[in-house]
C-alpha cells in the first residue's frame, strides 16, 4: 500500500519534518513530482538541513528513497545535496534510487527560466529561476533528456542538439549571459549522478508493493499550486495533488490508501498570485517574524495571512484527504485574537467555492473571529496539555472541513508533534 503526504496550501507547510517523522513507519519514501524549487527543512542532530530533491526519509537507515519519474532533477543541486547528506554518515549507495525516466534540468533550462522572468511583457510569476518550468515544457514537448539517457554513450551529442534548440529561444529573448561555467558544473555533476542507483522506477516501486512493503509518497509545493487545479497561471509546472502519485511513480490508483494533508495553522504564499486572506499589516508582519517565514530555497519573505478554510476544504476534496497535520501551531501562541476565512464575498455574492480564476475575481474574505490561547505550547507532548481555546480552534476547523486533524506540530524539532485525541 501507498500513503501520501502532501501540502494543502501554497507550499511551505512543513512537509519535510512531517515526512521525516512518519518515515520510521515505512520501508520506502518516494518523491513523485516537482524539482529543486521545493525546500523540505529537517533538523538532524540539532542541525538544520534543507533537502530539495532527495526524499525526506533519507536519514532513516532502514528506509529506501526513490526519486520518481514525475520529478525534474538538477544534477548539480543533487550532487551538493548528496555531499551534505553523506556528511551525516548516510550511505546513499544503499538507500537512494533514481528513476531512469526522471527528466533532467539542463543549464539552458535555467537560462530560459531567467530570460523569461526578466523579459518585458512576460508573465511574472515569481519563479525560483531553477529551470523547473522549461524542463517540464521540454518533457511535454517531447524534447527532454532523462536520467536513463546518461547511460547512453551519445548523451553529450543529444545535449548539444537540444542546446542548439534552446539557444534559438534564448536569442529571441536577447539573452546574452555566458553559461559556460554552468555547463562545466553540470557535466561534473552528471558524472557523479551516473555512479548512483539508476533504476526502472515503476518496476522498482511495484516490486516493493508486491513484497508487502509500505510506501510513503512525498509531495512538493502545495495543492493550490497544482498546474490544473491551482491558482492558474500562478502555479508550478506539475501535478502537486494526490493524482500525481500515479503518473509520477508508475503505480495504479487502487494502491493508494491514506492521503495525509499538511496545513499551517495560518497561511503563507511565496511569489505572485492571488491570496485572499493576505495581511499587509503589522499582524502579517508579526506572523512572518515569529514563523520565520522566509523561503527555504530562495530566502524570499513569504506573504502571510489567516488560514483560508475555503481553499483548504477545496484541497481536501480534490486530494481525497483522510487526515490532517497542522504545522506551526505555536506561531499563533502570541495572538489574543485569531481569524479564519469561512467564505468569500465574490463579486458581491457569498461563496464557499474556489472561482475559475482567482486573480480576475474580486474576492473579499469573510472572516470568523476566534479567541487565541496566549499560551506557549512548545513543550506540550499530549493533547490534554493544550489550552482550551486551541482545542476550540482545532475543533472548529475539523467541523468545517469534515476531515480530522490528527497531529499538531508545535515547534521545529523532529519530536515536537502532538497527537490529537
Catalytic residues: 12, 40
Match 481555546 to its residue by C-alpha cell. Answer: 389
Beta-carbon contacts of residue 343 (< 8 Å; ≥ 6 apart): 310, 350, 351, 352, 365, 366
Q: Would residue 129 be called left, alpha or beta, if left means φ above 0 and alpha means ψ between -120 and 50 degrees? A: left
CB burial readout 30-64, b (16+ within 10 A) else e: bbbbbbbbbbbbbbeeeeebebbbbbbbbbbeebb
Match 467541523 to its residue by C-alpha cell. Answer: 399
Match 467555492 to its residue by C-alpha cell. Answer: 353
CB 143 within 8 A of CB 162: yes
Q: Which of 89, 20, 83 is nearest to 55 (CA)?
A: 20
CB 19 within 8 A of CB 40: yes
Distance CA 356, CA 232 (A): 9
* H-helix or E-strand spanning residue 83: helix 75-86
Q: What are the φ and ψ backbone dihedral angles of 418, each rounded to 5 degrees?
A: -110, 130
Instruction: Report the alpha-carbon angle 99-22-251, nearest 5.
Output: 35
Beta-carbon contacts of residue 156 (< 8 Å; ≥ 6 apart): 187
Distance CA 228, CA 205 (A): 26
Secondary structure (3-state) at 307: strand
Distance CA 372, CA 409 (A): 17
Distance CA 222, CA 371 (A): 28
Match 489567516 to its residue by C-alpha cell. Answer: 306
CB 145 within 8 A of CB 162: yes
Amino acid at each position: 500500500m501507498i500513503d501520501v503526504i502532501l501540502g494543502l496550501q501554497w507550499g511551505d507547510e512543513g512537509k519535510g519534518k512531517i515526512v521525516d517523522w512518519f518515515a520510521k513507519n515505512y520501508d520506502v519514501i518516494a518523491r513523485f513530482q516537482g524539482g529543486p524549487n521545493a525546500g523540505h527543512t529537517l533538523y538532524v542532530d540539532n542541525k538544520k538541513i534543507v533537502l530539495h530533491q532527495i526524499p525526506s526519509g533519507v536519514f532513516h537507515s532502514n528506509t529506501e528513497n526513490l526519486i520518481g519519474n514525475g520529478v525534474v532533477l538538477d544534477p548539480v543541486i543533487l550532487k551538493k545535496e548528496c555531499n551534505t547528506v553523506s556528511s551525516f554518515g548516510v550511505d546513499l549507495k544503499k538507500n537512494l534510487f533514481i528513476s531512469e525516466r526522471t527528466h533532467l534540468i539542463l543549464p539552458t533550462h535555467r537560462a530560459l527560466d531567467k530570460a523569461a522572468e526578466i523579459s518585458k511583457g512576460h508573465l511574472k510569476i515569481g519563479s525560483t529561476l531553477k529551470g523547473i518550468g522549461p524542463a517540464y515544457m521540454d518533457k511535454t514537448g517531447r524534447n527532454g533528456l532523462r536520467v536513463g539517457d546518461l547511460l547512453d554513450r551519445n548523451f553529450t551529442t543529444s545535449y548539444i542538439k537540444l542546446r542548439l534548440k534552446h539557444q534559438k529561444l534564448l536569442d529571441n529573448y536577447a539573452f546574452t549571459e555566458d553559461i559556460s561555467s554552468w555547463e562545466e558544473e553540470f557535466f561534473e555533476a552528471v558524472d557523479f549522478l551516473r555512479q548512483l542507483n539508476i533504476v526502472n522506477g515503476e518496476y522498482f516501486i511495484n516490486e516493493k508493493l508486491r513484497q508487502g512493503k509500505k510506501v510513503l509518497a512525498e509531495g512538493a509545493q502545495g495543492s493550490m499550486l497544482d498546474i490544473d487545479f491551482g491558482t492558474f497561471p500562478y502555479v508550478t509546472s506539475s501535478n502537486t495533488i494526490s493524482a500525481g502519485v500515479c503518473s509520477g511513480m508508475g503505480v495504479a490508483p487502487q494502491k493508494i490508501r491514506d492521503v495525509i494533508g499538511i496545513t499551517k495553522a495560518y497561511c503563507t504564499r511565496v511569489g505572485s498570485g492571488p491570496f485572499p486572506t493576505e495581511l499587509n499589516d503589522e499582524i502579517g508582519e508579526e506572523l512572518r517574524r515569529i514563523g520565520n517565514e522566509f523561503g527555504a530555497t530562495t530566502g524570499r519573505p513569504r506573504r502571510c495571512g489567516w488560514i483560508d478554510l475555503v481553499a483548504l476544504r477545496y484541497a481536501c476534496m480534490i486530494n481525497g484527504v483522510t487526515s490532517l497535520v497542522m504545522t506551526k501551531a505555536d506561531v499563533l501562541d502570541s495572538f489574543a485574537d485569531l481569524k479564519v476565512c469561512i467564505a468569500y464575498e465574490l463579486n458581491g455574492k457569498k461563496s464557499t467555492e474556489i472561482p475559475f480564476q482567482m486573480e480576475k475575481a474580486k474576492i473579499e474574505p469573510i472572516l470568523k473571529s476566534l479567541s487565541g490561547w496566549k499560551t506557549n505550547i512548545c513543550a506540550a507532548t499530549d493533547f490534554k496539555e493544550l489550552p482550551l481555546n486551541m482545542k476550540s480552534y482545532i475543533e472548529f476547523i475539523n467541523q468545517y472541513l469534515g476531515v480530522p486533524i490528527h497531529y499538531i506540530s508545535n515547534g521545529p524539532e523532529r519530536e515536537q508533534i502532538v497527537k490529537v485525541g
